[in-house]
Amino acid sequence: MISNLYSFKYFLTVVLIISLFYIFYDHNPYLPKFYKPYKPLSSGRKGATIQVSKQLQFTKQDEYISSDYNQTVKHIITQPLSDEEFDEISWYSTIKNAIILSIHPHLKFIPNLYSIYEDYVLMMPLAKTESIRFTKNANSDLNLKTICDADDPRPECDVKTHRNYVYEELPKKTFDMVNLVCNSGLRYKVYAKIDFDVFVNKAYFHDVMKFMIDNHKRKIYYGDIMDSNSASRRIAMNGKFYAITDSLFEELCKCEFKEKDKGLEDFWFGQVLGWCIDKKRFKKGEKMVLLKSDESKVIHKNLYDQNVGLKIGRFANS
């Protein structure tokens, strides 16, 4: 009887110690917390929930509803803009001879990139001299697909084309990449391309992708605008980072276009896309719209910040 009583007291003591430790641990900001990554079953589903840690801070502008620390937060699926709302943030540029769109992401919160993971694809053409392990780690929270040459032996390659290329033949690789995706049967709301030597601010990336995903039925071409539309040329986006909505991509897949042996792949893509859309003579409200990038959020080749010095690209080792 006495031994049973001692056992019961011992049990209560252990339970009390564990409870006190849990309370102390949970409320002590200096101890590490471990949160299991969460990926929703389906992005774009109304009422989908995400798990957030207590370190995240939200405001009304973030279009999230927060109940309390460490609670489940409902992600409000934003709606596409109406024609009137779209007209308010777009204008016709006589210099570029095109409709230009500008948005100002609020960048107020740490984005949940998994909530849009299934709605876009980010393609990165890689040369055999570029570190696939580095880029896979640096972009592990993005839906990144590496596009490698036929003779690239690395197992981390997501897609291999049917031939090999030298640097001057990047238009050929872009041609093959577009055809591969058109014929794959895989469909996303946004198709983006990024170079190996580019990093994008993750909060900015989320906001741009989310805007394009929400408005994917519009023909949006995003990037750093180069050149202007004329009788002989069409606008292209700088090849370091650009994206198009599926409404544009599906039209591109229906067009016939020829590969170019050498030259600048970004100009080739812009010319092919521009002429393809122009031939179809879409009415007002259905034409292609250019979404201008914020280049301060797109890091190219070099990054120097607090105790950080990074060089990346063809001449990084020189």
- The structural domains of the chain, ordered by start, are 2-75 (no CATH), 83-311 (3.90.550)
In order of 45, 48, 163, 190, 208, the CA distances from 42 in angstroms are 6, 8, 35, 16, 20
CB 243 within 8 A of CB 191: yes
Report the alpha-carbon distance of residue 180 to residue 124 in Å, rounded: 14
* pLDDT grade for 107, boundaries at 50, 70 and 90: low
Of 87, 93, 51, the residue nearest 72 (C-alpha): 51
Residue-wise pLDDT tens digits, 261-286: 788 888 889 989 988 898 888 888 78
* pLDDT grade for 70, boundaries at 50, 70 and 90: very low
CA 260 to the chain's CA centroid = 28
CA 64 to the chain's CA centroid = 20
The values of phi and psi at residue 23, to 5°, are: -65, -45
Residue with tokens 């020189």: 318
Of 278, 101, 299, the residue nearest 204 (C-alpha): 299
Report the alpha-carbon distance of residue 245 to residue 222 in Å, rounded: 9
The values of phi and psi at residue 93, to 5°, are: -95, 120
Please give, one letter per residue, the 3-state secondary structure of the chain. CHHHHHHHHHHHHHHHHHHHHHHHHHHCCCCCCCCCCCCCCCCCCCCCEEECCCCCCCCHHHCEECCCCCCEEEECCCCCCCHHHHHHCEEEECCCCEEEECCCCCCCCCCCHHHHHHHEEEEEECCCCCCHHHHHHHCCCCCEEEEECCCCCCCCCCEECCCCCCHHHHHHHHHHHHHHHHHHCCCCCEEEEECCCEEECHHHHHHHHHHHHHCCCCCEEEECEECCCCCCCCCEECCCEEEEEHHHHHHHHHCCCCCCCCCCHHHHHHHHHHHHHHHCCCCCCCCCEEEECCHHHEEECEEEECCEEEECCCCCCC
In order of 69, 100, 277, the CA distances from 220 in angstroms are 38, 10, 12
111, pLDDT greater than 50: yes
Reading the block at residue 3, the tokens are: 């031994």
pLDDT of 29: 38
57, pLDDT greater than 60: no
Higher pLDDT, 90 or 218: 218
Highest mean pLDDT among 30-34, 108-112, 209-213: 209-213
CA angle 269, 119, 191 (to 5 degrees): 5
* pLDDT grade for 191, boundaries at 50, 70 and 90: very high
pLDDT of 72: 36
* pLDDT grade for 47, boundaries at 50, 70 and 90: very low
128, pLDDT greater than 80: yes
pLDDT of 230: 72
* pLDDT grade for 7, boundaries at 50, 70 and 90: low
Residue-wise pLDDT tens digits, 11-21: 667 667 766 65
* pLDDT grade for 213, boundaries at 50, 70 and 90: very high
Higher pLDDT, 222 or 235: 222
* pLDDT grade for 51, boundaries at 50, 70 and 90: very low
Mean pLDDT along residues 132-155? 92
pLDDT of 54: 30
Q: Give the chain's mean pLDDT.
A: 76
